[in-house]
Every structure is written in structure tokens, then in C-alpha cells.
Chain A
Amino acid sequence: MEYNVINGELEVTLLKVTYVSTSSTVMVGEIKAISLFSAFEGPPEELIVGVTIPTLPSVIPADE
């Protein structure tokens, strides 16, 4: 397969990242091959111990 790439000018003013997760990558540059693998095993949903935040009432009042 023939694949032609023409890269123009690339300038970014701000790259703001809040959280780079486990074994993930933030890259500024070029790369040829990427292969990612992730496996997750957890308990059935109702066993998740945690706080469920009540959903806020809708801010926009319904126009009577």
C-alpha cells in the first residue's frame, strides 16, 4: 500500500493535560509503530464500594 504524507507547519501554543493515566504516553514527536494492550478485571458492579454523587437538579427551569 502506497501512503504519502505531506506535513505542513505544526505549532501548538498550549498543551494542557490534567492526568496521564497508568502506562500511557504523551508524545511530542514522530513515531512509526504503536501497540497498546490493557486488561482489567473487577468485581461485579454492585460490589464497587464508592460514593455515588446525587445528580444535580436541572439548572435551567422548565418554562411553565
Chain B
Amino acid sequence: MTNRVSSVGHIQVTDSGSTTTLEIGDSEYITPLNHIIAVQREKAVFFQNEFNFRDYAIFFRPISQTVLNEDIRMTTTNKCSVISVLKIDIFAISVSGVVHIGSSETLRAESRIKNIRHLLRERPPML
């Protein structure tokens, strides 16, 4: 099934974080993945090897595998074989973000974020 051609006149990306991708062209798989532990401390003290991903279950919880190949017979007829965008203006692309100009097969994105607060006053009464 021939995909349509994407044509873009002008792209402007002002800022992009680490491990971001700007792909111009077709691809097979896109799998952006990131694991984040965000720590906010009232007293700015930082030790070297703290906060390993192994210690938190959120990074190992299994993903419910979505069924990627439902039995669906899709027939597409493209009257015009070009997807055209004149101007793309993107201010910021965050960590492991993807900007993809072109067609692809499968996109499987995963993001796991753990927020931690270390406050000086004692823990509030448990909810």
C-alpha cells in the first residue's frame, strides 16, 4: 500500500532537549522511551549514587500489551498523493521527543515518571 509523500516547505525548531529526533523520511518503527526520576529537595544536597531505577516498581510494571494487529481490512484510495505542510514552527521538543516528516509503520511510545519530594518539615498526617 503506497503511502503518500509528505512535503514540508519550512521547518523551524527553536530548542530540542536531549535524545530528540527530527526524522525527515520514512521509517519502520518509532519507539520513544524514557524513564525519569524527578527529585525536589528543600535543602539542596546531592549525593552521588542515589535513586537507582531498580528501587522503584513503576519502572518495571509490565505494560498491558495492546493488540497491534486487529483483523481489519483497510482499503485506502488517495485522491492526491501528497501531504503538504507549508510551514512548521516548533518551539521546544522535550526529552526523547520525535518530529517525523514521512510515513511509518508502528509507533510505540513509553514514558515512566517518578516524582519525589524531600521536605524538611515532618511528614503530614497520612491521608
Give A residues with C-beta under 8 Å from B.
1-44, 46-49
Inter-subunit contact B85/A23 (CB<8 Å): no
A-side interface mostly? strand
Given contacts A7-B78, A43-B116, contact A20 B92 (CB under 8 A): yes
Q: Chain B's interface: helix, strand, loop or mixed, by majority?
A: strand
Residues 71-127 of B contacting A (Cβ, < 8 Å):
71-80, 82-117, 119, 124, 127
Is B104 a contact of A29 with CB atoms below 8 Å?
yes
Q: Which of A3, A28, A35, A39 contacts B75, CB < 8 Å?
A: A3
Contacts of A35 in B (CB 8 A): 66, 68, 106-109
Q: Which residues of B contact A48 (CB under 8 A)?
A: 117
Contact in complex: A18, B91 (CB < 8 Å): yes
Q: Which residue on B lies nearest to A31, using beta carbons?
A: B104
